[in-house]
Structure 1
């Protein structure tokens, strides 16, 4: 049996995406121990180092199954360490990669990406969790839709898991979604705020949709500490899809340094994405002048390493979605800072999944708030005081979502096993 996994982040530089991928591969491997599990990537040796139980499918080289399934552990680990040693801002690399992409059509929209050869012999195609079904990432959205359409037309089982949809308004992308998504066998959503309505508008049968939560929740929950942490965590990302003014940066840095000092806490830089060093470049300067700081995770650090750092915090402040996932899953309250509709949808959807009636564990602060300093300070103070009481309800919410996510994968298994109710139902679970 061959299973092809669409990995939305082919460069393997985002630890949130890697956490989702590790859970996906582990669940597929547990269900089908002898299957070949291929993962689309542009970093084959790095993939083998991170997930030796999966096979890299080279997206840039035609995307066929490797002639030899196994890797070379020493060489693969060396490749990961070498990349970490030589890594850094990739502004020039990003420009080169953009030039190598297929040219746009006459309408200005991205051309349809080539479907990897491995898809033709797959028994199951899974588009794993991510936030790429959105206007912000049209190229990757089209790439995933093309793969799902190809498989569906050939009678190959298809599924999407842990997906975040929207904002989705681009006419070409809306049309492609409406043409492809109704044919996908199962779609698991990480939130219920936007996704269900967008899928309904695309003509997807609600019976094929389940709100499960983010698949990375289980990976973070599994490394939780027995008690609350003591640090204040911080991550800031500035990108074309997440703009932040210089003034907002200054306020953010001042507030987290002040509040860490008031609490007698260390300020911990949390790095989820190494792409273009975006999290390091934006976060580390905020620590300048802080009384006590922690070291950031090494560039070769794993998703679990960062999740453990998060677990050492009492509260985190983050503009990166998956750091909030890592925190809430372990019972650590978080403040999501946002300056775009894209991140509004991410954080508000996550807040609803982890919300408690009287004291939400995720507070959202808008960076364009004219009273940013006061709003952010109040959120940190309130969550710091309430962290002990929030810990158990947040972990309980994480467990509910882990159960729902596993139920979603049972639905995926049923697509292949011929039982739409899934494996769990068959065993009375």
Structure 2
């Protein structure tokens, strides 16, 4: 458990290294709080591309990059300054730096290639740069007390690069006798033979695999050879963050007035893993605006994925022209602020999974719109865990507008009825999730792992 310095070191594999997804930040916030409650003096490192922005969001955590020569070195003065300034100030500067670091070298290589082609008169094919070894993450995990793999939906064919990265990190931890706990994970769809082979090798070596749903995850874990005694179904760890916004002395959510919000929350996710054609976008936007007018409800555009303004670009144009639109929250807010804005809704229409988590956890019914198997699994698994309050609409249906309009009207009418059972389901999942964390604590404290970074070089 301890190292030669007497420290407990917890390494958190963060699912989104740029820290631009409010759902991932919500899971990270809950995870860090629970770890700190158990081990007040532990060093908690989080893998990220931006230690500075991490400290702005979470001042007691330490950012570790995959390229760090000395991953457990003390935080820099710049990180300490960021912890005092907060993400609203630090975020825009860090994002500009990340973009420049990532995209300017790509543009420079392209310019050199085009110049060489022009000078020689021959086509010069693009050269993929050789990736730098991930020495930092390997050294960090080898000298950790435990590796905690944060919840998410990235162990799937739809996110192959992240999937490979995490499986590789798990193998490194196991090779150095560092216990591995995977928490709040949405496993699959996972059918790619290469990923399945990697997953089989890695996941059989974890001490605990806590899944956020029971509909598909346990069967996939079994297919990968994970010992069933090490598998738990706990629900999503972000449930606790949203449920904490409920006032325990009454039936109201903060900002929710009499306990039922007045608005319709809305987010349409458009991405490679969630494709939505122009006709479906138009139908969804028109239907939501008409429903808000009919119900005399304000529209609340809600943002989960901020990376490249993903949800803003696909959502905000669709609420333009509505009679009453609540301005969206600014970028770089704490995820609890997003969950609190959800509490102002009586109904949520969403293509973003974690907004549905925030809503259901507070007792707010959800109309989920989806266009892919990946998102079908997300929403069906969530619906199964809560038992009520979620209606799923396929964006490819020919009668999309009618189906969506009817679902919004039904959810609006049923909001008072589903409130109590949804909150009870959230409380049950929070208890399961906390029990899984108790197992993580026990596993770590039993292991007695000591600092042994020897032999950790290269990829």
Hey, what does 2:154 align to over in structure 1? 132
1:218 to 240, 246, 255: 240
Distance 1:78 1:31 in 2: 25
Superposition deviation, residue 272 in structure 1: 0.9
The alpha-carbon distance between structure 1 residues 82 and 31, as it changes in their structure 2 partners (threshold 3 A), is closer
CA separation of 1:254/1:94 partners in 2, compared to 1, >3 Å: closer, same or farther? farther
CA–CA distance in 2 between the matches of 1:153 and 1:238? 39
Unaligned runs of 5+ in 1: 420-429
Q: Classify 1:62/1:317 alpha carbon distance in 2 versus 1 (closer, same or farther; 3 Å).
A: farther
Note if contact 1:45-1:76 (Cα within 8 Å) is conserved in structure 2: no
Say which one has the larger Rg. 2
- Which of 369, 377, 382 in structure 2 is aligned with 1:337? 369
Deviations 1:313-340 (A, max 9, x none): 0001000000000000000111111001
Alignment of 1:287 with 2:295, yes or no, is no
Q: 2:50–2:94: 8 Å Cα contact kept in structure 1?
A: no
RMSD (Å), alpha carbons: 2.5
- Matched residue, 1:393: 421
Alignment check: 8 A CA contact 2:67 2:134 kept: no
Q: Deviations over 1:390-411 (max 9, x none)?
A: 1010000000000000011011
Cα distance in 2, alignment partners of residues 92 and 170 from structure 1: 33
CA deviation vs aligned residue, 1:75-103 (integer Å, no higher than 9, x gap): 65266424347969x99987679999x96
Trace 1:11-410 onto structure 2 (pairs within 5 A). Answer: 11-62=18-69, 64-68=71-75, 71-73=79-81, 77=85, 80-84=88-92, 115-224=137-246, 226=252, 227-355=259-387, 360-410=388-438
Given that 2:291 and 2:408 are in contact with CA atoms closer than 8 Å, whether structure 1 keeps it comes out as: yes
Q: Secondary structure at the match of 2:356?
A: helix
SS at match of 2:204: helix
In 2: Cα distance, 1:255 partner to 1:111 partner: 48
In 2, Cα distance between the equivalents of 1:77 and 1:67?
19
Task: Choose between structure 1 and 2 for higher RCO, CA contacts under 8 A separated by at least 6 residues.
Answer: 2
CA contact (8 A) 2:82 2:90 kept: no
User: In the alignment, is the contact (CA less than 8 A) between 1:42 and 1:60 conserved in 2?
Assistant: no
1: CA distance, partners of 2:223 / 2:409: 41
- Report the Cα distance in structure 1 between the residues aligned to 2:215 and 2:65, rounded to whole angstroms: 35
- The CA distance in 1 between the partners of 2:323 and 2:379, in whole Å, is 30
SS in 2 for 1:72: helix
Please give the alpha-carbon distance, in whole angstroms, between the structure 2 residues aligned to 1:97 and 1:143.
23
Distance in structure 2 (CA, Å) of the matches to 1:159 and 1:103 = 34
Structure 2 residue runs without a partner (length 5+): 1-7, 110-126, 253-258, 448-459
Deviation at 1:60, TM superposition (A): 4.1
Q: TM-score, normalised by structure 2?
A: 0.84
For the structure 1 residues 388 and 104, does the alpha-carbon distance in structure 2 shift closer, same or farther, using more than 3 Å as the test?
farther
> Normalization by structure 1: what TM-score?
0.90
Instruction: Tell me: CA distance 1:14–1:168, structure 2 relative to 1, closer, same or farther (3 Å).
Output: same
Distance 1:176 1:241, change over 3 A: same
Q: Is the 8 A contact 2:23 2:238 kept in 1?
A: yes
Q: Matches of 2:105 and 2:161 in 1, distance apart?
A: 12
User: Once the 2 structures are TM-superposed, how far is the Cα of residue 59 of structure 1 from its aligned partner?
Assistant: 2.6
